[in-house]
Structure 1
Amino acid sequence: MARFGRYVAMGDQAVSSISNFVAVAIVANVATAGEFGQFSLGYAGLLLFLGAQRALIGETLLVKYSAAGVLDPEARRAVLGASMLASAALLPLLLAGAAVVDGPSRLLWLAIAASLPFVLVQDTLRYVFICEGRPSMALLIDGVWAALSIALMGFVALTTGSVWGVVLCWGGGATAALAAGLILARALPSPRSGARWLSANRNPGWRYLGEFSALNASTFVVLYLLAIPLGAAGVGALRAAQLLFSPLNTAFSAMKMAVIPELVRSRGTVVFRRRLIETFVVVAALACLWGAVVMLLPASVGVLLLGDTWRAASELRLPYFLQYIAMVPYTLLLAYYRSVQANKLSTFMRGALAILTLVLPLAFSYAGGTVASAWAFSLAVGVAALVGGLATVRWRSKSRSGLPTRQDPSRARTSAPGPAEPDLRPAADAR
C-alpha cells in the first residue's frame, strides 16, 4: 500500500471532488434560481475558507511533518485543534451572510454555516492520514461522507424538496465522516494545543496562506475588472471555458498533495528525482489527454454542458489548453519547493503569477477582446513557470558552488543532517 500511496491519495481527492459535484447537482435540481444563487454564494465562501485552511494547516502539515511518519497523539490533537480555531474564526463570516438575507435563504446560509466546522476539521483529518502515509484512511472517511450524504440528500430532495435540508444532509455526512476519522485516529481536537501549533508553525504557515490569498484575490479582482471592457457575456465565456478544464484543477491539486509527503520522505535519495520525473509524466499526460478531450468535444455535447455560452467558450479552448500545459511545470515546481522548503522561491513564483494574472488579461482585453484575454491568462502561467524555473536554476547553482543562500527559519530548522523530526510537539513542549 505504501508503494501506491500517492495514487490512493489521488483517488481520495477524486472521491471528494465527485461527491461535492453530485451534492451541488442535487441542490441545483431542488432549488429555484434565486435559492441556487444564494447557495452558490455561501458555498463559494465555504470553499474559499477550506482552501485557506489547507494552505495554512494542510500544506504546513505535509511539508514539516511527513518525514516523521506516524504522528504522536498530542500532535494529532494539536493539528485538529488548529482546524477548530480556524473554523471558529471563519464561522462568523458565514453567519454574517445569513444575517443580511431574508426568508428561506437565511436557513440555507445557516445550514452552510453549521456545516463549516465539521467540513474543515474532517478535511484536516484527511491531511493527517496522508501525512502519516495512511491515505487509505482518508479515502475511507471520504467514502463514508460521500455514501451517507448523497443517500440522505437524495432522500430529502425526493420527499421534502427543502434546499436547506439537503445542505444539512451534506454537512451531516461530513460530521459522520469526522466521527469515524477521529475513532481511527484515536485523537480529539485540542484548541489550546492548536493555538501553540499555529504559533510554532507560523512560518511557513502564514507564508502559504499569503500565497493562497494573493492568487485568489488577483483572480477574483481581475474577473470583475474584465467586465468593464468585455461585459458580463465575455466574462461568462472565460468562466465557461475554464469550467471545461476544471477537472485538471482537481487532478493537479490531488497529485501535488499526494506526492509532497513522498518527496519529503525521500529527500536526499535517488527516489526523490524519480518521484519528480514520475510526477511530471503523470501531470503532463493528464493535461494532454483531457485537453484533447475538450478540443475534440462535439458541439452538441458542448451545448448540453454550457448552453448558449458554448459558442463563445469554444473559441477559447486552445489558449486554455495551452494554459494547462504551462501548469505542468508550474505544478512540479510548486511540489518541489514544498518538499525542500524553498519557501521564498514558491512565494516569488506565485507572487509573479498573481501580478501577471491581474495585469496581462486586462491589458490584452482592451487590445483584442475576450480571446486575447484568454491568451493572456495562458501567457501569465507560462511566464510564471519560466520565472520560477530560472530562479530555481540560479538557486541550485549557488548551492552547488557553496555560495551562501538565505534560508527561511522554518527550513533552517529542518535541514540538519540526519533524520529530521520537525516540531512534532506543540510549541510549549518543544521549548
Structure 2
Amino acid sequence: MRARTAIVCSVADQGVAALTNILVLVTAARLSTVADFARFSAVYLVFTVLLGVSGAYTGQPLVLRRVGGEEVHGGSVEVRGACRSAVAFTLLAAAALGALLAGVCLPLPGATAHALMALGIVLPVVLGQDTMRYAFSTLHLPHLALAGDALRLVCALGALALQPYGTPAARLVTVWGLSALPALLLSAVLLHRGAAGTPLRLKVLLRRGHLGRRFVVEFAVGNATGQLSVLGLGAVGNPLVVGALRGATTLFGPLNVLFTSATGFGPPLLGRLADERSRVRAVATLAAVLAAVAAVWATVLAVLPDPVGRRLLGDTWPTAAALLPATGSQYAAMAVGTCGLLALRMLDPRTTLAIQVVFSLAAVAFLTGGYALGGVPGAAWGLCLGSGCKAVATWTRVARLRRRTAVERAPVSAGAVRPGSGSS
C-alpha cells in the first residue's frame, strides 16, 4: 500500500473510532433516564481508563517494532508473531480482569454494580478489538483496521437503536460491548490469514524490560495528575473551576483524537521514511500542522455566536468561552509537545517517562499557582504554561539525541591520519 493511501486509511480509522465513542454516548443519553445515563457514563469512564492502559501496555510498544521501515527482531515473521501475541495476551488479560470485575460486582446491590459486572463480561471483546487496530497498523494494513472499526460503528449504533427508552445501564453496557463481536471476529479472521503459524510468545509481554510498563506509568501520570488537580481545586476552592476548565477542553475534543492518533498510530507510517533525519523532520512538520489546526479551531470557537455556544455547553458556555485564548494556546503547545514525544518514541522510547513525570507535576504546580494569582483564567494559563514547557523540553531532548547520533555515526576522515604524522 502506498504511503499516502495508508495515511488516509489510518486517519479515517481514527475518525471512525472517535465517532463511534461520541455516537455511543449520544445514543445512550437519548435512551436513558438521567440516573441511568450517569451510571452508564461512569462505567464508560472505567472502560476508557482500561482502554488507555491496554493500549499503553500492548499497543504502543507493538507499533514501535517497525520504526525504520525494516522488520526487526528476526524479520516479518517475528513482527507478525508479535501482533498475534499482543492480541492473544490482551484477550487473556481482559478475560481474567473481566472475570475478577464481574465476580466482585456480582454480590453487590445497585444498578451501578450490575453495569460494572456487565462491563466485566464484555471486556475481552472491546479490548481485543482495539488491540487488533494496533496489530493492523504495525503490519501496515490500516485499511483492515478501518474495515473492522466501520463494522463496529454500524453494529453498535444498530444494536443500541433497537433498545427502548429507559433501558437500564447494565443492558446498555452489554448491548454496546457485544456489538463489537462481529468486528472482533472479522479482524481475527483477517489477522489469522497473515499471522497463522507465527510464534506465540506471551512471556515477552511480562518481562521486566517490556516498554509497556513505562508507557502505562506515562499514561497514568499524564492523564491522572491533571484531572485530579482540577478536581482538587474544585473541592478546596471554587467548584466552577471544574466546569469551566472541563467545558473549555471539551470543545477541543477533536484535537485530542488527532494527538492520540499521532502517538498511537504514527510510528508505522513514519517508519516508511528512509532514515532517522527524514522521520524527525516529518514529525516537526506534523507538529507545525497540528499547532496551526489548534489555532484555527480556537479561532472558530472564539467567533461562534453566543446562542450556538449555549447549545453546545449550556450555561457553562460563558465561562468556557472566556478561557478559549488560554485553552487554544495550550492545545497549540500540546500539539508541539505530543509530536516531540512521538519523535522521542522513535529515537529512544525510554527517554519519555522522565519528561512525562516531571512536566506533569510542573503543570499541576502552574495550574495551582495560576489559580492563586488569577482565578479560573489564571488556572487555564497555568496549564498552557505547563504544556509549553513540556513542548520545549521534548524538542530539546530530540535535538540532543540527534546530535549524539550524528557524532556516533560520523565517519573517521582518512586525512586525519597522515603518513609521518606519528612520533619520530
TM-score, L = length of structure 1: 0.85
SS at structure 2 position matched to 1:231: coil
1:94 is displaced (CA, Å) by 4.2
User: CA distance change for structure 1 residues 6 and 353 in 2, over 3 Å: closer, same or farther?
Assistant: farther
Identify the residue that residue 304 of structure 2 maps to in structure 1.
Answer: 297
Q: Which moved more, 1:29-38 or 1:129-138?
A: 29-38
Query: Which residue identity does 1:312 align to in structure 2?
Result: T
Distance in 2 between residues matched to 1:35 and 1:101, nearest whole Å: 17
Bigger mean CA offset, 348-357 vs 319-328: 348-357
Q: Residue type of the partner of 1:23?
A: V
Q: Say which of 314, 319, 330 aligns to 1:323.
A: 330
How far residue 269 of structure 1 moved from its aligned partner, in angstroms, is 5.9
Matching residue of 1:55:
56
2:59/2:264 contact within 8 Å kept: no
Residue of structure 2 equivalent to 1:16: 17
Q: Equivalent residue of 1:186, what SS?
A: helix
> Aligned partners of 2:77 and 2:14: how far apart in 1?
22
1:116 partnered with 2:146 = no
Paired residue for 2:216, among 209, 215, 219? 209
Q: Is residue 354 of structure 2 the alignment partner of residue 353 of structure 1?
A: no
Contact in 2 for aligned 1:361/1:372 (Cα 8 Å): yes
Residue range with higher mean Cα deviation, 8-17 or 279-288:
279-288
Distance in 2 separating the partners of 1:197 and 1:147: 36
1:39-54, aligned counterparts within 5 Å? 39-54=40-55
CA RMSD, 1 decimal: 2.7
1:397 to 403, 413, 417: 403
Which runs of at least 4 in structure 1 moved beyond 4 Å after TM superposition? 69-73, 187-190
Measured at CA, do residues 197 and 267 of structure 1 come closer, stay the same or move farther in structure 2, by a change above 3 Å?
A: farther
Listed one character per residue, the Cα deviations across residues 295-347 of structure 1 (whole Å, up to 9, x for unaligned) are: 2222111111111111111111110000011012112111111122x124312
Alpha-carbon separation, structure 1, partners of 2:206 and 2:274: 26
Tell me, yes or no, if structure 1 residue 171 matches structure 2 residue 180.
no
Whether contact under 8 Å (2:39, 2:111) holds in the other structure is no
CA contact (8 A) 2:337 2:387 kept: yes
Report the equivalent of 2:156.
Answer: 149
Question: 2:414 maps to which residue?
Answer: none
Range 210-219 or range 128-137, more displaced? 210-219
Which amino acid is 2:213 matched to? W
Q: Give 1:129 shift.
A: 0.3
Q: Structure 1 residue 402: deviation in Å?
A: 4.2
Q: Which stretch of structure 1 is more off in the superposition, 165-174 or 18-27?
A: 165-174
Change (3 A) 1:151 1:207: same
Give 1:86 deviation, angstroms.
3.2
Structure 2 counterpart of 1:385? 391
Quote the offset at 1:60 in angstroms: 0.2
User: For residue 295 of structure 2, what is the aligned residue in structure 1?
Assistant: 288
One-letter amino acid of the structure 2 residue matched with residue 263 of structure 1: L
Q: Which residue of 2 aligns with 1:426?
A: none
Structure 2: gaps (5+ residues) = 410-424
Q: Which runs of 5+ in 1 are unaligned?
A: 404-431
Matched, 1:127 2:148: no
- Taking the aligned partners of 1:92 and 1:230, their CA distance within structure 2 comes to 40
The structure showing larger relative contact order (alpha-carbon pairs under 8 Å, at least 6 residues apart) is 1
Q: What does residue 34 of structure 1 align with?
A: 35
For 1:6, give the aligned amino acid: I
Q: Read off the aligned partner of 1:386 and give its amino acid letter.
A: V
CA, structure 1 residues 396+328, in 2 after alignment: closer, same or farther (shift >3 Å)?
Answer: same
Within-5 A mapping of 1:102-113: 102-113=109-120
Whole-angstrom CA distance in 1 between matches of 2:272 and 2:3: 13
The answer to whether the 8 Å contact 2:262/2:339 transfers is no
Per-residue CA deviations over 1:343-399 (Å, capped at 9, x if unaligned) read: 243123212221112222122212221111111111100011112222332333334
Deviation of 1:100 after TM superposition, in Å, equals 8.0
Secondary structure at 1:47 match in 2? helix
CA contact (8 A) 2:43 2:116 kept: yes
| 1:80, distance to aligned residue in structure 2 (A) | 1.0
Q: Do 2:149 and 2:183's aligned partners in 1 also have CA atoms closer than 8 Å?
A: yes
Say whether the 8 Å CA contact 1:60–1:201 is kept in structure 2: no
Q: Against the structure 1 CA distance between its residues 286 and 123, is the aligned structure 2 distance closer, same or farther, given a 3 Å change threshold?
A: same
Contact 1:326/1:382 (<8 A) preserved: yes
For 1:138, the aligned partner's letter is A
- For the structure 1 residues 367 and 89, does the alpha-carbon distance in structure 2 shift closer, same or farther, using more than 3 Å as the test? farther
Q: 1:256 aligns with which of 263, 287, 312?
A: 263
Q: What does 1:176-255 align with in structure 2 at a 5 Å threshold?
A: 176-186=182-192, 193=200, 195-199=202-206, 202-255=209-262
**Which amino acid in the other structure matches residue 300 of structure 1?**
P
Contact 1:349 1:385 in 2 (8 A): no
CA distance in 2, matches of 1:43, 1:189: 34
Q: CA deviation at 1:9?
A: 0.9
Q: Which moved more, 1:127-136 or 1:353-362?
A: 353-362
Structure 2 partner of 1:308: 315
Which of these residues, 351, 371, 377, is aligned with residue 371 of structure 1? 377
Aligned to 1:412: none
1:39: Cα distance to partner? 1.5
Structure 1 counterpart of 2:415: none
Q: 1:147: how far off?
A: 0.4
Structure 1: distance between partners of 2:15 and 2:44: 19
Between the aligned partners of 2:246 and 2:370, the Cα distance in structure 1 is 17
Q: How many residues are treated as equivalent by the alignment?
A: 401
The amino acid of 1:13's aligned partner reads Q
**Amino acid across the alignment from 1:57:** T
Distance 1:110 1:358, change over 3 A: same
Alpha-carbon distance in structure 1 between the residues aligned to 2:269 and 2:86: 20
The 1:226–1:380 alpha-carbon spacing in structure 2 relative to 1, beyond 3 Å, is same
* CA distance in structure 1 between the partners assigned to 2:276 and 2:374 by the alignment: 49
User: Is residue 98 of structure 2 the alignment partner of residue 91 of structure 1?
Assistant: yes
